[in-house]
A and B are shown apart, each in its own frame.
Chain A
Amino acid sequence: MATQKITIEPVTRIEGHAKITIRMNDDGTVDHAYLHINEFRGFEKFCEGRLLSEMAYITPRICGICPISHHLAAAKATDAVLGMTPPRPANLLRELMHMGQIIQSHSLHFFELAGPDLLLGFDADPAVRNVVGLVDLDEGLTVKAIQLRKYGQEIIAALGGRKIHPTFVVPGGVNKALTSDQRDTILEGIEQSIATTKVGLDIIKNWAAENKKDIDRFAVFPTGYMSLVTPENGLELYDGKAKLIGSDGNEIVKFEGNDYLDHIAEHVENWSYLKFPYYKPMGYPEGSYRVGPLGRLNVAEKLDTPMASEEHKLFKQLNDGKPVENTLLYHYARMIEVLFCIERVQMLLDDKDILSTDILNTKKDFKGEGVGMLEAPRGTLFHHYKADENEKLTMVNLIVSTGHNNYAMSHSVDMVAKEYINGHEVTEGILNRVEAAVRAHDPCLSCSTHAVGQMPIIINFEDTAGNIVKTIKRD
């Protein structure tokens, strides 16, 4: 029975609303470490009774880091409920906006959030280990990184009027066509964006080579992985079937968004407000899997753009074609995806239909129920709605991307705690490991949120009477 408790709070700087508790046994070993996600808002209930067409505008407020994920997943679910089919140009434009979002979200995380760790070092002074410190270290690179995120944000703004919580999708299409001037402006930014992304790739490759020992020791464990794929099992971010692979890399199942309930269920733990999705036939927790950049590049057999394809081949060699299990290599996978998205932007802008004004199909064949599924920056996102004939919602179910990684994050924390804590001495190094276990997954817990850099931590050792016997603190 656990007789002592260690609290790590806040884990806020990853996300805002998480903390870790470690229950200790009498002999100083770890009984169990818990990652508590400490926020609940209740969108599924309070969207009931709203109009379907509002969902693409309410649900982005789940997350301001990747609002486009919810904007587009809501649009897809709404189209499905209403039986509306957007014309091809509308889907191209929606995907273009999605690419803008992944570029901005990934580059934000890579440079501005994880970057201080990678470039300044995990052991740098916390007072400077942030984006301000990056400016002092390398202003030129920081400005380029800022401009890469800006590039993604400006694609979003060109289509939706503004960068965060834009207004673009409507049932059956989008509300505005792309102008040739806008297309040309976006095209002009491609070259510099690719150059910055390649710098990022060099940074992470060098970092991985220099820190191989840590990477191989740190929260490496087998799980399944899930991602959308093209019909030929290539990487797909906007539309396609979901594919789940096992820890050996072999396909377990491939399914349409409409059938997700046959394959995915969510478990609740009393100690977290974030649910734990799992592959239903295998049960919880055996059916847990991971999503996001690492999951996607593990699932995808190929990337259908030239430069990203070459990078993906190198990535696949890391574990001889088997899934790459190293949690810290999420950062590497993330940068390859940025390259893929910029190349997709080029392909979309070169498409003959991209400037078409055939952007809305008002023909309706009311179904009453529908699912929208896509790859948000952090993983597969599901919106499932039911509505009455007045188009008022009667049921809403959301499975957000970070949720899929919940078990993996919790397990990483538990693993790291059990491996490194023995006896009542807890060193700073252990705190570093514990926080990195969470951050590498790039949790977006308010769909969620990010934080940057290092988590400030206070650990209190309490005796069985609840008295604090020792405190370890790092601001």
Chain B
Amino acid sequence: MLLLYLWNTQAPGPEGQNDSHCFLLSSVDLIFQIALPHSFVTPTILSNRFAWLDPRFRSLPVGMMSLMMKSVHSLTPFRIHTLLLCTLLVLLAGCSEEYSGPKEPHAAIEQGWVLIGVAEWDRAEAMFQYAADHAKAGSQDYLHAQFGLGNAYQHRKPQAKPAEALDVYTKLAAEDKGGEIGGFAALSVARIHHLKLYAPENLDNSHNSDSTQRPMFTPILLILSLFIGTGAAYLLKNRSKQQGLLALATIILAAWGIGGFLDRQAPAAADTTSVKPSAPSSLPDAAALDAIRAEYQQIVDGFPNTRAAEEAAIWIGSTWIAQMTPESINTGIAYLTKWVEAHPKSDYLANAYHQLSGGYEIQENYNDDLRVLIKWDENNQDPTANHASAWFRIARIADLKVHDEATAKAYYHKFLDKYETEARRFLAERALQRLEGGPKKEGQP
């Protein structure tokens, strides 16, 4: 019995699903445990006993058992029956699910990612945990498993586990220093910090929410008080008419006063003609963005020649632009321009051009916007991508903003030749008709 007890108190923690022990053994042990002296069975020991249970169910048997422990040494038939019922309850709550995924760590990792794709967070975590436990420490599979686990924590919905994710990522970045996975882990840390700056909690728009209804306490309380007051007045009519009327008036006045007070406490009615938008301060300030950029810079420096470093560089440039001051936008454009020159073969070149175009668009600098968009197109990094929007936009900017007719015509034609069913064909045809004086096209009466 003692051996059984010792074995069971070594039960794994909540994550120890893989080693969950047989419910029968636990139940037998539990019953033996009840027979032990009172002082020997503490709630902590009981908690350990139920460690294999889902935390949501754990408190119920533990609570019930603790109650039963009060005079455990005098076992009456009634108590025995109750204890057996408690045990049955525990059995009904069920054991934790046995790990049922692939046994091979690499397959478990792949399965884990499929599960993330279908938002099965618990199972994804279990897969990655299994893979991490069974892969050789320091191996690629081990790193992938840890990275997957961090992602399962980070992307979990509706409630992410950022603290757990940061813990896993930070360790991983240290373990795979300079490596691809380490770089992405470090980048994920920076991303979590960056996104926190734009969390909805930073918005001050409670006055615009749907809950801002017209205050209704006064009318509701007045109607109620009319009923109560009329009843009171009726009851008092035999004693004194004045008292009855006084009671009615007092109740109505009290309702008016209380309703008014509550209305004043409630949010103001939504006045749609003077709705206040959130303050621009709902955007992060320069100091917060500087700190984020410093994090990204650490990735650029600490994980050179990795894709994570390239992504981090794009993020640095884009955070300057998103800071939205004329100076910061200039800084962002300069940073990205320099980066593009230094990384002509990067996979992220198109992304850098895209961000540059975004910066120039904010500045309404259409000449440079057009220039980088054309460079982006000439780079043709992804021939399989749909270029319709980009080509149309190049043509449109050249046509309407820069008045570069040759470029406009060339791109309108390119767009029309390739995209036979595109929604903006009519606009392109209409523009070409204006630029080239062509015949009327189909679709026009």
A binds B: no
* Chain B residues with a Cβ under 8 A of chain A: none
